[in-house]
Structure 1
Amino acid sequence: MSTPRQGPGRPREDRIDHSVLAATRKLLARKGYGALTVDAVAAEAGVSKAAIYRRFGSKAEMAFRAAVHAAELPSPVDTGSLRGDLRALARVIKASMGNPLAVQSGPALIAELAKDPALAERFRESALGVEVDYVRGILEHAVARGELAEPPDPAHVHLLMAGPMFYSLFGFQQAVGDDLCERIAQTVADGLLAAR
């Protein structure tokens, strides 16, 4: 969902990015986060450790990108209503958080964020920043349609949408179903529309 950082020197090759992320996903699925090493990813991907560190500052950043935020977000869907747009957003969040690799690796990656404030900040700026921008687009559509007088804080709306799914997956260890996505989207839409 976010673009890995570009270090100094020659431009990165997309082929290497894809190889590193594919190798990371393969090793995470086979061995789990605890056994994942940059050395093993480099060997599996057929690249140098330096190539990996030019893209990712740490093993945790690499694993987040591969497991949780592996795909680019689509453009915000304009369904014609805030409720519909939030339903579509809920499905995007569910797909990102609920993929088997994210569910398997999530608790260990969350622990990494708690131990490393700099990593947590980079995660907020990159992956979460992209998601908040996605929400901003949804809210701007709602303003343009006249559903909202002005856009609320997109970071707050993102938290309201993603928080319950996150807690269900990683707190209760329960899968997020379509019914939960629907209820979350409906509740958030009701609150936003009532506040206008």
Structure 2
Amino acid sequence: MGKAAIYRRYASKAEMAFAATMFEQQLPTLAGTGSLHGDLLALVRAFHARRATPAARQLTPALISEIAVKPGLEARFQDTFLAAEQAIFAETTERAVSRGELAGTVDPAMAHLLLLGSLASALYIINLPVDDAMITDLATAATAGITALADRHHSDPGGAAEPH
């Protein structure tokens, strides 16, 4: 494959390396643990295993930096990597609704932010050592947040969600 073909698929070297090291792998599948907390815990453990590797710790900040300065890269990142992850969160919350754990679905982007945004911050910005105790705490906090959002957005008897 030639260089031109590579750059038609990827907007930058950082995007290509990020895709090759983190997203050419299969995304985590839903474990179906039977509870929202269990599902979120399984997801955060799977994503931590992917995002805590030395390559991911080096490439993710580089890609984030490129997103800030390269027009179009943000949209590509949103439409590919983030959309795939958010689909997992949509399915997770839909399962929780069907089990009666949540009053209704929540925005998958918000669920994603509550769990994986915190993980990314710990790994790439604050550089905290992320152990299983922290991972469990992240899942617990995200469960509480998602539950509160579902309650807030679906507490209106008329079914209208409150504005963000």
Distance of 2:117 and 2:71 partners within structure 1: 20
TM-score, normalised on structure 2? 0.83
Identical columns (%): 43
**Match for 1:187 among 133, 141, 164?**
141
Shift of 1:191: 2.9
Residue matched to 2:23? 69
**Match for 1:98 among 52, 62, 70?**
52
Shift of 1:139: 0.5
Q: Does the aligned pair in 1 maintain the 2:37–2:139 contact within 8 Å?
A: yes
Residue matched to 2:92? 138
**Match for 1:175 among 120, 126, 129?**
129
Gaps of 5+ in 1: 1-46
Distance of 2:132 and 2:71 partners within structure 1: 33
- 1:51 equivalenced with 2:5 (yes/no): yes
Shift of 1:194: 4.5
Residue matched to 2:42? 88
Amino acid at match of 2:13: K
Distance of 1:165 and 1:102 partners within structure 2: 13
Q: Does the aligned pair in 1 maintain the 2:36–2:143 contact within 8 Å?
A: yes
Residue matched to 2:104? 150
Residue matched to 1:79? 33
Cα shift readout 1:93-120 (whole Å, capped 9, x = no counterpart): 2122212101122222221111113101
Q: Does the aligned pair in 2 maintain the 1:82–1:189 contact within 8 Å?
A: yes
Residue matched to 1:40? none
Larger radius of gyration: 1
Q: Does the aligned pair in 1 maintain the 2:30–2:92 contact within 8 Å?
A: yes
Number of residue-to-residue matches in the alignment: 150
Q: Does the aligned pair in 1 maintain the 2:32–2:39 contact within 8 Å?
A: yes
Distance of 1:117 and 1:150 partners within structure 2: 36
Shift of 1:129: 0.4
TM-score, normalised on structure 1? 0.70
Q: Does the aligned pair in 1 maintain the 2:86–2:109 contact within 8 Å?
A: yes
| Structure 2 SS opposite 1:117 | coil
RMSD of aligned alpha carbons: 1.7
| Structure 1 SS opposite 2:128 | coil
Q: Does the aligned pair in 2 maintain the 1:77–1:138 contact within 8 Å?
A: no
Cα shift readout 1:95-154 (whole Å, capped 9, x = no counterpart): 222121011222222211111131011101100000000000100110111111211111
| Structure 1 SS opposite 2:129 | coil
Residue matched to 1:108? 62
